[in-house]
Amino acid sequence: MRRILVAGNWKMHGSTAMVQDLLEDLLAGVDKQSDVDMAVFPPFPYLAQARSVLNGSSISWGAQNLNPISQGAHTGEVSAGMLLDFGCRYVLAGHSERRAIYGETDEDVADRFEAALASGLEPVLCVGETLEERERGETEAVVERQLDAVLRRCGVAGFERAIVAYEPVWAIGTGKTASPEQAQAVHAFIRDKFVSQDDIIAGQLRILYGGSVNGSNAADLFAREDIDGGLVGGASLKAEDFLAIRNAVA
């Protein structure tokens, strides 16, 4: 049985005071025993704060990116080992903003996924099509290409300890959510792709939906057979809104 995961990507938002309040409010709003898992992805400088507030709680934390190299002369970069040093469980790989703004290719994303796995982090592989790609009928081809780059590198076994997040680019931060039917269709496509390689891994794989998830649409989305939770941007920056998403399914 796959547990629902509600994960908050805080992107480049926050300050010490804001992060402290948000973490404490989230902690106060969740019970230790819950059927729903929660995780937050603060910017790098706030990972120590996440560890100090969340340690021992039911909320996990992770980072939004990593450099696949373990150490060296790479000014401005952060390695998997450093993330583990701050107690991270997860790391995002291939968020569409990294792909679009910072030019990360499918191979760059595979490098990050592979380095995360090798270090013991659980990568969250983000995939998804742009509006133009959807309108050209290329959604499945794009998602498949993004998955294949990682599958070629790490094999299906690489997904035993990983998560996939389907995030249609046109739905991220736009207020335009994919309908539960649209999202489920792509999630089923993703799961079927894994079924053809290893049905046990496919059955266990958590596939999150991301793209303008909020307290009003979460229950409908997460009720679909192949949608195992959400990767939430904007609505994860306010404890009340983020908890509303969690409480919609808890």
Catalogue the active-site residues. Answer: 95, 167
Using the rule CB under 6 A, is 79 a contact of ligand PEP?
no
- Output 106 or 167, the one with its CB closest to ligand PEP: 167
- Output 165 or 202, the one with its CB closest to ligand PEP: 165
Tokens of 207: 């596939």
Using the rule CB under 6 A, is 231 a contact of ligand PEP?
yes
CB of 99 to ligand PEP, least distance (A): 12
* CA–CA separation, 178 and 211 (whole Å): 7
- Output 160 or 247, the one with its CB closest to ligand PEP: 247
Using the rule CB under 6 A, is 217 a contact of ligand PEP?
no
The only residue of 167, 168, 191, 243 in contact with ligand PEP, by rule CB under 6 A: 167
Chain centroid, CA 43 distance in Å: 14
Residue 101: C-alpha distances to residues 104, 105, 157, 176, 197 (Å):
8, 11, 30, 21, 33
Using the rule CB under 6 A, is 127 a contact of ligand PEP?
no
The closest residue (CB) to ligand PEP is 233
Helical (H) or strand (E) element with 61: strand 59-63
- Looking up tokens 């229950």 gives 219
The only residue of 128, 158, 211, 229 in contact with ligand PEP, by rule CB under 6 A: 211
Using the rule CB under 6 A, is 229 a contact of ligand PEP?
no
CB of 173 to ligand PEP, least distance (A): 4
- Output 9 or 79, the one with its CB closest to ligand PEP: 9
* CA–CA separation, 110 and 85 (whole Å): 22
Could you report how far apart the first and last alpha carbons of the chain are, in Å? 15
Task: Write the burial class of residue 164 (CB in 10 Å: 0-12 exposed, 13-18 middle, 19+ buried).
Answer: buried
- Output 172 or 227, the one with its CB closest to ligand PEP: 172
Using the rule CB under 6 A, is 173 a contact of ligand PEP?
yes
Using the rule CB under 6 A, is 172 a contact of ligand PEP?
yes
3-state helix, strand, coil in the chain (%, to 5): 50, 15, 35
Using the rule CB under 6 A, is 9 a contact of ligand PEP?
yes
Chain centroid, CA 42 distance in Å: 12
Using the rule CB under 6 A, is 102 a contact of ligand PEP?
no
Phi-psi region of 207 (alpha: psi -120 to 50; beta: other; left: phi over 0): beta
Residues that bind ligand PEP (CB under 6 A): 9, 11, 167, 172-173, 210-213, 231-235
